[in-house]
Amino acid sequence: MGTYLERYAEPAAEARRAMVRLIAAEGALTDPAWRAAFEEVPRHLFVPYYFTGGPGGHERLWCEDPDPVRRERWLRGAYYDGPLATRIRDGELISSSSQPSLMARMLQALQVRYGDAVLEIGAGTGYNAALLCHRLGEERITTVDMEPEITESARAHLAAAGYRPAVVTGDGARGCPERAPFDRIIATCALPFVPYDWAAQCRPDARILAPLSTGLIALRVRDDARHGRIAEGRFLRTSAYFVPLRGSGPAAERRPGALPRRVLENDLFRFMLSLTGRSLDPREALSLWERERRPLRDRFGVTVVGGRQWAWLDDPEGPYVWPLGRRDG
């Protein structure tokens, strides 16, 4: 680790500054504290290799390639504002380093405060945890992943960058009860529904930010005298595509039926279609979508209470509500 960190320190710093300028110019990095984290945490240290290409074949770029041209491509790609595939198994992507501008938007939307304890679901390369450590201190950060090889490499990357948060191998859908309670939970993997254990491991007024469907749901946790622990909130406007959370169960499969191609290719309609689950057939979903003037993501929300949860449009009390995953499956 130390050899290539030292070897690429100067060109990496220049590439990192350029990446941060780009992200800031796009409006995705407005908080000075988070900007400092992105400027100072070396992303290339967390992606010593990654894969490029598509279904036709993957090319592996790595820091110790004997070809200097390929090494330059590796370093340049490490600071590209895009996701990087870091682990592929049997042709399936199982881990990646997320797009830095999306990470910046998510970290800012997490609304951390000094002293917050944060649980990250999906350790990935460790880069996101390193940014959290830079902002809040390593003793306040816990990151969880089901795959031992992922947590092992994330731990090594973090240590090489000078951070030693708690890196736990376990089912992220179950949270991390031994490190609870948490003030913030952030997931970097896509969910079919919000795991029920998360809210139970939060302090009151905690915030949960997670990819659900193709959006980002921001939930506030509170205690209610009648219903007990409640997590509720709206989606952000931005879209988000992540590797699915392993251990959470499969997402509901939708068959869109004979709908116009222009509709099926519309990202906002597909988002609503995925939330309505088995409650609406595709034509009913299309009718509602058009009647409500093609609503943006932030008109939708999610409520989690007791052993049930539901998605909603505009109002958690209805009239448009659709059940998501139940505790009993």
* pLDDT score for 277: 73
Domain boundaries, the chain: 1-96, 247-323
| Arithmetic mean of pLDDT, 122-141 | 97
pTM value is 0.92
Is the pLDDT at 92 greater than 60? The verdict is: yes
Instruction: Find the angle CA(60)-CA(159)-CA(187) to the nearest 5 degrees.
Output: 70
| Arithmetic mean of pLDDT, 236-246 | 83
Choice between 242 and 46, residue whose per-residue pLDDT is larger: 46
Is the pLDDT at 53 greater than 80? The verdict is: no
pLDDT band at residue 271 under the 50/70/90 scheme: very high
| Arithmetic mean of pLDDT, 171-175 | 96
Mean per-residue pLDDT over the chain, rounded: 90
Is the pLDDT at 298 greater than 50? The verdict is: yes
219 Cβ contact partners less than 8 Å away, ≥ 6 residues apart: 194, 199, 207, 208, 209, 210, 231, 232, 233, 302, 304
pLDDT band at residue 256 under the 50/70/90 scheme: low
Choice between 323 and 56, residue whose per-residue pLDDT is larger: 323
pLDDT band at residue 250 under the 50/70/90 scheme: very low
311 Cβ contact partners less than 8 Å away, ≥ 6 residues apart: 275, 276, 277, 300, 301, 302, 321, 322, 324
Q: If you ran DSSP here, which 8-state letter would residue 225 be given?
A: T
Is the pLDDT at 56 greater than 90? The verdict is: no
Query: Phi, psi at residue 327, to the nearest 5°?
Result: -60, -35
Is the pLDDT at 248 greater than 70? The verdict is: no
Is the pLDDT at 11 greater than 50? The verdict is: yes
* pLDDT score for 251: 47
Q: Percent of the chain having pLDDT more than 70?
A: 91
Q: Where are the beta strands (DSSP E) in the chain?
A: 49-54, 57-62, 84-89, 92-97, 118-121, 141-145, 166-169, 182-187, 202-212, 215-224, 228-239, 300-305, 308-313, 321-323
- What whole-number distance in Å separates Cα of residue 123 and Cα of residue 172? 10
Is the pLDDT at 252 greater than 50? The verdict is: no
Give catalytic residues, as residue numbers. Answer: 95
* pLDDT score for 329: 47
DSSP-assigned beta bridge partners for residue 186: 120, 209
Choice among 4-18, 163-177, 221-235 with the minimum mean pLDDT: 4-18
